Copies of this chain bind each other. A is one copy, B any other.
Amino acid sequence: MTESGARLDHLVSVLKGRGYRLTPQRKAVLQILAASDGHLSVEQIYARVKKDFPMTSLATVYKTVTLLKEMGEVLELGFSDGGNRYDGRKPYPHPHLICIRCRKIIDPEVTALSHLPQEVASSTGYRIVNHRLDFFGICPECQAAENQAGNNSAGQAARRNSIRRW
């Protein structure tokens, strides 16, 4: 059993366990989310689904992704600029690292954060139900591209000036 196969079986069983119907379109979305190692946009899922089911509509992808999110089987990364992204393999809160140039998103290793929600709950009286930690930066590939483009002048000066002191 592959990793994504086990994940797909889990998603299917959760869906059926709650009495939802398992349609070909849904199966295709589940498969893509289970197999993807990244953080897909709805448009990306839509494009991949259409390879197998060209009749599928964008609305169906939205509905399926929303359904999985409400069941807690997919993590939604909402963005106020540009479309949301979905992690179908780790539906629980975890840090993300986002390239502001190419929009690639990865899961970085970050040490010792699990105690933070409890600490915030104690000091504020809030009941914490969720959290989110995003780092924004420029990935190595995009850094290399930048060095090619604006070499030995404007680029480096701008980079120096972009250092902020708070």
Q: Interface of A with B (CB < 8 Å)?
A: 72, 78-81, 84, 91-92, 95, 97, 99-100, 106, 108-111, 116-117, 119-121, 123-140, 143, 162, 164, 166
**CA A51 to CA B79, docked complex, whole Å:** 32
Residues of B within 8 A of A121 (CB): 137
What are 9 inter-chain pairs, A to B, with CB distance below 8 A?
A72-B164, A79-B80, A92-B166, A97-B126, A109-B123, A127-B138, A128-B135, A129-B137, A132-B132
Question: Quick one: copies of this chain in the complex?
Answer: 2
A108-B124 in contact (CB<8A): yes
The answer to whether B162 touches A129, judged by C-beta atoms less than 8 angstroms apart, is yes
Contact residue among B78, B99, B162 (Cβ-Cβ distance under 8 Å from A81)? B78
Closest Cβ of chain B: how far from A160's Cβ, in Å? 13
A126 to chain B, nearest CB (A): 4
